[in-house]
Amino acid sequence: MTKSIKVKIISGIMIAIIVLAFLFVVVDDDTSIGSYDYDASLPYTDTAEWMQYISDDEYISEITIPGTHDSSTANVPLGYFMRCQNTDIASQLSDGYRYLDLRLAIDDKNDNKLKLVHNFVSCHVSGNILSDYLYLEDVTAAIYSFLEAHPYETVIVNCKIEDDDHSVADVQQLLNAEIAANKDKWYTDSSIPTLGQVRGKIVLMTRFEDAVGLGSNGIQFIWTEQNNTTPIDIPYELYVNDDCRLWVQDRYKYSFDDKYQALIDGFENCEADENTLFINFASTTGTGFAGHPKTYADKINGLILDYDFKEATSYGIIVVDYGTADLARHIYLSNDF
């Protein structure tokens, strides 16, 4: 092999490494998505402690709750396509988000621990390509710490399994082991609780069947993937279990205009009540083969900040990409404080 060929091969390898590293560690530029006026003297504008000012008697389904989509993806390979947040779980909680969307898979190479994933990529603890995977125990430790410091808050954790190599039962058993070891920190009943019942606790929601028959799978909803690109007249769908109902709008392949209209439709027609959850996703990757979530998030989040939420009105759970404290505050200020 000639020297020039060796140089070309080495150069090609170096370029490939640089590109892969860039896709992993690239940090999206901070983007101003707008601003709004609010009375900063009101105690519930503190995003870390806003729930303490809501009545114990309110069912969590009656509260407007800001949430994050693919909550653990601040550090992922192929970040341009796969990253949906640019802050970690602790920061999201401090910023006011009380619904977390976690995707789980088993790590065979590390004691079969549950790791956080987004589809086929694993989440990491930092932007370093060599950093450790982010595990469920890392996420729950952050939530336990937050709730210990803010005992009047609650956090809804919605778990979905994204693991083609293991059974639902295998993943569920590991999740249940984490819950059993911290039983006093979790609410795992299948009915919607009042806020007073779950202050200082994690409310478990699951998007998978109770494969091991424990009967403690939390509030269980397995909704059909809403992956159509052509808009439909009613963008949200109803799912019913034995204890409650769920309306969900998760059209994650809509164009920007169609997605925003679906989101607004949910705002204007929210049917949340003590027996009905309403989850309204603002996230989309667009109609193409692969999208850039932040492009859509910047536009949609800015429009949400401009939206005139009515006071003392429930809009259900509003789930966003690239959540900020300002956005969370604007959403939850619609509650009856």
The one-digit pLDDT tens for each residue of the chain (337 residues) are: 564 554 444 444 434 443 444 455 444 545 456 667 899 999 999 999 999 999 999 999 999 999 999 999 999 999 999 999 999 999 999 999 999 999 999 999 999 999 999 999 999 999 998 999 999 999 999 999 999 999 999 999 999 999 999 999 999 999 999 999 999 999 999 999 999 999 999 999 999 999 999 878 999 999 999 999 999 999 999 999 999 999 999 999 999 999 999 999 999 999 999 999 999 999 999 987 777 899 999 999 999 999 999 999 999 999 999 999 999 999 999 999 9
How many of the other CB atoms lie within 10 Å of CB of 55? 13
> What's the confidence (pLDDT) of residue 4?
54
CB 28 within 8 A of CB 87: no
260: its two tokens:
């925003």
pLDDT, residue 289, reads: 74
Res 290: pLDDT = 74
Output the CA angle 189-193-195, nearest 5 degrees: 135
Structure token pair of residue 288? 């193409």
**CB-based contact 70:101 (threshold 8 Å):** yes
Q: At what angle do helices 168-181 and 136-149 cross, to 10 degrees?
A: 30
Question: How many Å apart are CA 258 and CA 265, to the nearest integer?
Answer: 10
Tell me the longest C-alpha to C-alpha distance in the chain. Answer: 78
- pTM for this prediction: 0.92
Tokens representing residue 107 in the block: 């790590």
**Measured in whole angstroms, how far is the alpha carbon of residue 187 from the centre of its chain?**
18
pLDDT of residue 215: 78
Tokens 């007249």 belong to 233
